[in-house]
Amino acid sequence: MKKNVFLFLLSFVALTVCAQDPVEYNGLWYTLDANNTTATVVANPTGDGYSGEVVIPDAVEYGGKSYDVTRVGDEAFCGTNILSVTTGNKMEWIGNRAFAYSTVASAVIGKDVTVGAFAFYDCRRLADVIIGNGEDSEYYCSIGESAFHHCTSLSSVILGKSVSSIDASVFFDCKNLKDVYCLRDNIWGYGVNFFDRDNLENMTLHFPKTAPSYAYNSFPWSSFKEAEKMESSELVKCATPQITYANGVVSFTCETEGVEFVSHIEVDEAWFFNSLNSSAPLNFTVSVFAVKKGCLRSETAVDAYSIDGFNHVVNSNAFKDGDVNKDGKVNVGDHVKLSEIILAKGK
């Protein structure tokens, strides 16, 4: 019995030594696999979560070694206040519920990735998705069950040439989904119900003119309201927006016609708690990119601005410093209200 207890203790010690704490690299946290020299993106262990644009690199450097970033862990960005995500070319796996309930508005997912179940579930701001954006079909990209279920703002989806399988209910309850672009000549998933049947009558399927005649003749592809052949499966990229600021209002323009803008404003946290007692101006950073159905999203434009005399918008003796929306609290809701004011949407 003593021998067994001793062996158990040795096993426990070995597990403890092998367990690896997350490390930070350029704003993201990773666990590292030294044996395979690979890295997995994980949730921020500080409890602060992630925000803004997320660009996952091909590799990270730590301790003199390079680690390929191949995975996003389960729930790594779940519920976070992020604007967009772009994965690197080495990405192989996006975990279950990895981005669920987050504020992500745009997602660009690589050419050789398995997207886990419920990965973007209930991302209600998500408007633009590009999956499997490889130049050919030799790669394998699959989309797990309910990955984009209840993404109610999603209006168009681009399924790239490497997308090879889609599980059930992936695009259920995406009531605003109107355009699906399939860049692969031969479509997969015959008979699998990954779109809402009720919404198919409002959707248009766009597919390559080079596709064989049988490729789109079965469910669900045959149930779309319309099917249009694309002259080319090479997509146009939206031009990078221009940011202008005048008279307290930020505005955006773009050379590509018919785009929609996805913007984000970052304000210095300290300003919210010192707005009455400080004469310093309000400094903020604006980032914006353009999206358009059937096009690749633009690069992101970023610019910084400063406003003097902004105190009158946010305070009176009855409210706390930084309580922009006058609800008696200083929290994320005040950031949202301030963004609306700067973009001239507030009243």
Asked if 263 contacts 288 with a C-beta cutoff of 8 angstroms, the reply is yes
In the chain (347 residues long), the average pLDDT of successive 10-residue segments reads 43 42 94 96 91 93 95 97 90 97 93 94 93 71 93 92 88 93 75 82 90 81 89 84 84 93 76 58 82 87 76 40 58 61 51
Strand runs labelled E in 170-214: 179-182, 204-208
Task: Please tell me the predicted confidence (pLDDT) of residue 6.
Answer: 41
Contacts of residues 194-199 at CB distance under 8 Å and 24 or more positions apart, as own/partner, are 194/143, 194/166, 194/167, 194/168, 194/169, 194/170, 194/220, 195/171, 195/220, 196/171, 196/172, 197/223, 199/174, 199/175
Return the SS3 of 7: helix
Place of tokens 């070995």: 14
Residue 203: per-residue pLDDT:
94
As a whole number of angstroms, the distance between CA 311 and CA 319 comes to: 12
The DSSP letter of residue 38 is E
| C-alpha of 307 from chain center | 30
Cβ atoms of residues 90 and 41 within 8 Å: no
pLDDT at 270: 65
DSSP strand pairing (114-115 vs 93-94): parallel
DSSP β-bridge partners for residue 181: 158, 206
Q: Would you kindly state where each structural domain of the chain is located, as residue ranges?
A: 21-230, 242-342
Pairing of the two strands 28-33 and 38-42 = antiparallel
What whole-number distance in Å separates Cα of residue 131 and Cα of residue 332?
A: 31
Alpha carbon distance 295, 232 (integer Å):
12
Q: How many CA atoms lie within 13 A of 282 on its CB side?
A: 24
How do strand 163-166 and strand 141-143 relate by DSSP bridges? parallel
pLDDT value at position 331?
60
Structurally, at CATH architecture level, domain 21-230 sits in: Alpha-Beta Horseshoe (3.80)
Q: What is the pLDDT of residue 135?
A: 62
| pLDDT at residue 271 in the model | 63
Token readout for 179 is 């355009």
